[in-house]
Amino acid sequence: MQSRRIPEAEPASGPDPGTTLTKAVMRAAGFLGISQAIVASVLGISTASVSRMASGLYILDKHRKEWEFGVLFVRLFRSLDAILGHGDQARLWLTNENLALGGKPLEMIRTTEGLVRVVHYLDATRGRV
């Protein structure tokens, strides 16, 4: 009697990280009511590229700065969601003056320094919750 070898299954490839992050950025922007123009400013890419992201024709590149900004933007969303929920409260928080930050978070996140500052503030606040 011959022994038969059972073929090994090919390892399942997971979801593409670029696609996952791109979708997460677009969903976070949608939940927070953030326009494509502001997303473009946050990521440091053109509004046309963000439009292509929304339609699945542009994927964030992990070898470019847009990737790091995308990760920070999703962190911002996740912190806001944990602290306030992803409804009107989070949108209000973004658009209102924040004395601790010294400005409106939605305006601040358009710069690298502002995005990092807002994310650090939210991370610290989330740690206390």
Provide the pLDDT for residue 28.
Answer: 97
Number of other residues whose CB lies within 10 A of the CB of residue 71: 16
For 43-56, what is each residue's pLDDT tens digit? 999 999 999 999 99
Residue 29 lies in a domain: yes
The single-letter DSSP state of residue 15 is: -
Query: What digits encode the pLDDT tens for the residues 112-121?
Result: 999 999 999 9
Asked whether residue 2 is domain-assigned, the answer is no
Q: Which structural domain range is residue 88 located in?
A: 17-128
Domain annotation covers residue 61? yes
Give domain status of residue 86, yes or no: yes
| Confidence band for 38, pLDDT divided at 50, 70 and 90 | very high
Compute the distance between CA of residue 107 and CA of residue 96 in angstroms, rounded to an integer.
10
C-alpha–C-alpha distance, residues 110 and 112, integer Å: 7
Residue among 109, 88, 92 at smallest CA distance from 38: 109
Question: How far apart are alpha carbons 127 and 129 in whole angstroms?
Answer: 6
Helix-strand-coil split of the chain, %, nearest 5:
65, 0, 35
Kindly state whether residue 51 falls inside one of the protein's structural domains: yes
Report yes or no on 10 lying in a domain. no
Q: Is residue 9 part of a domain?
A: no
